[in-house]
Amino acid sequence: MRPTVYVADIAQHEGREVTLHGWLHNRRSSGKLHFLQLRDGTGFLQCVVFKGNVTPEVFHEADHLPQETSLTVTGTVKKDPRSPIGYELDVKDLAAAARPAREFPLGHKEHGVAFLMEQRHLWLRSQRQQVILRVRHTVEKAIRDFFDGRGFTLVDAPIFTPSACEGTSTLFEVPYFDLGKAYLTQSGQLYMEAAAMALGKAYCFGPTFRAEKSKTRRHLTEFWMVEPEVAWMDLEGDMQLMEEFVSFVVQAALGKHGRELKEVLERDVSKLEKVQAPFPRITYTEAVEVIQKTGHPMKWGDDIGGDEETLVASAYDRPVMVHRYPAEMKAFYFKKDPDDPRVALGCDVLAPEGYGEIIGGGQREDDLAVLEAAIAHHRLPKEAFEWYLDLRRYGTVPHAGFGAGVERMVAWICGLHHVRETIPFARMMERITP
RNA sequence: UCCCCAGUAGCUCAGUCGGCAGAGCAGGUGACUGUUAAUCACCGGGUCGCAUGUUCGAGUCAUGCCUGGGGAGCCA
């Protein structure tokens, strides 16, 4: 095999004869010219087969190769203003490595969502899905870079857990030897609190599972979440961390994929350019007033649902931070506001353009007696939380953190209708294959 | 768990009042020296989701079921 040249590096080879490996993405013909669109994972390159430049056998084959044939092409790299990437390959020779055993199911016209999800393993080959997967990769790398650059330590949380972290959501149950039932994690937060008491600043980044029967564009049963936790941090510090985190990740994705977002995904990137800290902050109480002013029926104590989220978020051109929710609506571990015990020191970040909650977090209850009372109030089994209570028994400190959903962030950044396209193989209530 | 919608060719869909199963794309055979989802001509392609019922006759009407999609609740 000759050293492989990639489409992404094609400009370096102008005027030279090179060999590329890839797949036949599409093919057009115009008599004595065949146009082959070669896809190699790094980009798309038009290979021009002129009848006078190749053998009759090669010319005939070039007009009969099916879509997604794997092939090797040799030719001269030529500059051409008609090409979207500025270059074409003037083909001298080509050989099919493997013709498809049967017709490739995905054409270049429209397909329905259900069919595309059934063919997800093949759908990934489309330009659009390639861009989304690359943005996801960049988002995940930016997440790591952000925390690593601020002295956080990555601490992997367990996937098997003995019980619910929050006691509300439905969990996936699995048999666990002689110990009975285990559950797939729905949050690594409690473990990160333990890690923060050891390392000061810690975060976990991994899959999370929710067995809720949610059928919406914002839900998956298996999704990825990053959860930082910081000792000696209050809600104010936490909110500052949130806005700096979101800004960093969005700008990283924009910097690396701005052109693809614009050209392939048709994203209005000017809206992403505005995503710079600080973000607007309003209390839950203020949010309720904003919602009421729009004529939407709502009273203090009601949850902010999807419609209400959009009403609040659409008032700003940046993500909005809604803090100090009614304590009754939040999990047992949230610390109550000393100035108003009706509300918890929690904060949600709502993305603009109707993408909803991308972050949830806040300051944790650090007082042993108050936390014990909260566990009792929520009717949770105290035995299961003894280790968690130990964190308050041995040198308790104020601490805070949050959880950010990767798929919702990617969907927002890419401007997608549904989170299922942001994860390589989505797991949903009605789908577990491929 | 609840509400709404859809299921007809490989794919996307049309199918009127209940009366012979259709189109575009994809595939095949050709034409064309600049195509960008190329275009043009011709050809092949059907368990109308499943079951029961009404009817002389059901893709079409009724009931039930299955599958999928959208949303609510809940959440990231």
Question: Which of A218, A278, A248, A178 lies closest to A429, judged by CA?
Answer: A218
| Model pTM score | 0.92
Q: Give dist(CA A25, CA A30) in Å, integer.
A: 17
Query: Which pLDDT belongs to residue A381?
Result: 84
* Tokens encoding A150: 């601020």
- What residue has token string 């006078």? A52
Neighbours of A206 (CB within 10 A): 15
Q: Give dist(CA A67, CA A241) in Å, integer.
A: 48
Strand B: which positions are within 7 A of a protein CB? 1-3, 10-13, 24-29, 31-39, 67-76
> Contact A358/A406 with Cβ under 8 angstroms?
no
> Contact A62/A34 with Cβ under 8 angstroms?
yes
Q: Is the CB of A65 under 7 A from strand B?
A: no
Q: Per-residue pLDDT tens for A103-144?
A: 888 887 778 888 888 889 999 999 999 999 999 999 999 999
Closest nucleotide to the alpha carbon of A302, via C1': B73
Extended beta strands in A30-169, E state:
33-39, 44-50, 70-79, 87-98, 153-154, 160-161
Query: Which pLDDT belongs to residue A372?
Result: 94
Q: Per-residue pLDDT tens for A231-266?
A: 999 999 999 999 999 999 999 999 999 999 998 898
Question: Which residues have CB under 8 Å from A23's CB, separation 6+?
Answer: A38, A39, A40, A68, A69, A70, A71, A125
Q: Is the CB of A68 under 7 A from strand B?
A: no
Q: Which helix (H) or strand (E) segment is A184 a member of?
A: strand A181-184
Q: Is the CB of A66 under 7 A from strand B?
A: yes
* Residue stretches of chain A with pLDDT short of 70: 1-3, 164-169
Beta bridge partners, A359, equal A349, A404
Nucleic strand B contacts from chain A, 134-153, CB < 7 Å: none
Q: Is the CB of A228 under 7 A from strand B?
A: no
> Contact A402/A359 with Cβ under 8 angstroms?
yes
Single-letter residue type at A113: V
SS3 A172: coil
Query: Which pLDDT belongs to residue A309?
Result: 84
Question: Which of A327, A323, A367 lies closest to A346, judged by CA?
Answer: A323
Q: Give dist(CA A352, CA A272) in Å, integer.
A: 10
Is the previous residue joined to A434 through a cis bond, with omega within 30 degrees of 0? yes
Q: Is the CB of A25 under 7 A from strand B?
A: no
Q: CA-to-C1' distance for A114 and B68, Å?
A: 7
Q: Give dist(CA A181, CA A171) in Å, integer.
A: 11
Q: Give dist(CA A159, CA A161) in Å, integer.
A: 6
Query: Which pLDDT belongs to residue A2?
Result: 61
Q: What angle do CA A26, A434, A260 make, to 5 degrees?
A: 45
Q: Is the CB of A108 under 7 A from strand B?
A: yes
Q: Is the CB of A4 under 7 A from strand B?
A: no
Query: Which pLDDT belongs to residue A168?
Result: 47
SS3 A389: helix
Q: Is the CB of A187 under 7 A from strand B?
A: yes
Query: Which pLDDT belongs to residue A299?
Result: 82
Query: Which pLDDT belongs to residue A169?
Result: 55
- Give the strand pairing for A336-337 and A356-363: unpaired
